[in-house]
Each structure stands twice: as structure tokens, then as C-alpha cells.
Amino acid sequence: MTTPGKLIRTAAAALFLTAVTVPSAAPAAAAPAAHPAPRIVRDILEPSLPVDQFPPQVEEACRIWHDLQWPTANAPRDYPVAGSPFVIRGSNVYGNRSGDLPQDGHYREYDVNPRQPGQHRDAERLVRDPAAQQVWYSDDHYADFREISSGCS
């Protein structure tokens, strides 16, 4: 009887043998990129960019949090967004347990997107070191970060 595991092992062995026995073609000359590809250092994408180079909701979130004076609280808290029926959550400590951000920082996390009260939060976050006035953006719930170089402190 053929099991799924045996099929996977057989396919993997065939791929390995093919890679070992078939000479590789000479690499084609790569065309120069219009913009350099982002470089990943740990889980920080580089280079850092000004806020206007991020999706528009990031600049809006920076404005909202700036207007709220980047609050700090011991626990996550919803804050009303001025002139709207929406709330935005943030201000609690971000532990940097993954070690992706500089180890000497003390961080706070803030949602990017306002939401209706009671609605679930999405994955976009800002993480800020108030002492250094550095801000990072993550669109995938802290899997990757990119520093915001200006316009969001």
C-alpha cells in the first residue's frame, strides 16, 4: 500500500537525484532592478522609509496616535477616534519577545486601523519606542517590521 508519506519521500528523492545529475544552466544575466529589493535583517525590512511611502492607513494611524499624544497604558485599551464612531486600540507594552527590534528599546504597540466597537482587530500594527521616538510598521502581526524613518513620531 502506498501511503502519502511514502509518495512524498519518493518525490523528494527524485527531485534530489534530478538536481544532482542534471547539470545546471549558466545563470542568465539579471537586468538591473529599478529599485533595490528590500533587504531582510532578522525580521526587519530595510531600508527604513518615510511614512508617505507606506499604505495611506499608516499615515492616518500616525496622525490619530499623535493627536492622542501616543498614550501609554498597562493593558490594551480602546480610544475613540475623533469625529467618528470608531475606536482604535493600543498603548500597551510590546514585549519584543521575538527579538526582532533593537534589544535596548522599550516598546508600545498601537493598531493601525480604527474599527467599530466590538469588531475584531486586524494584523496591522505600529510599534513605537517612546524614548528613541522610533516607530515600526508591521502588516502581518509582527512577523516583519519596517521602520518609519520620518513623519510618524
pTM of the model: 0.72
Extended strands (E) in the chain: 39-41, 44-50, 77-80, 87-94, 107-111, 125-129, 134-138, 145-150
pLDDT digit string (tens) for 111-139?
Answer: 999 999 999 999 999 999 999 999 999 99
The domain segmentation of the chain, as residue ranges, is 39-150
Read off the C-alpha cell for 2: 502506498
pLDDT band of 43, cuts 50, 70, 90: confident
Q: What is the pLDDT of residues 48-90, one digit of tens each?
A: 999 999 999 999 999 999 999 999 999 999 999 999 999 999 9
Using CA atoms, how far residue 46 sits from 12, 41, 52, 87, 150, in Å, is 35, 7, 16, 31, 14
What is the arithmetic mean of pLDDT over 36-44?
Answer: 55
CB atoms within 10 A of CB 109: 19
CATH 3.30.420.40 fits 39-150, yes or no: no
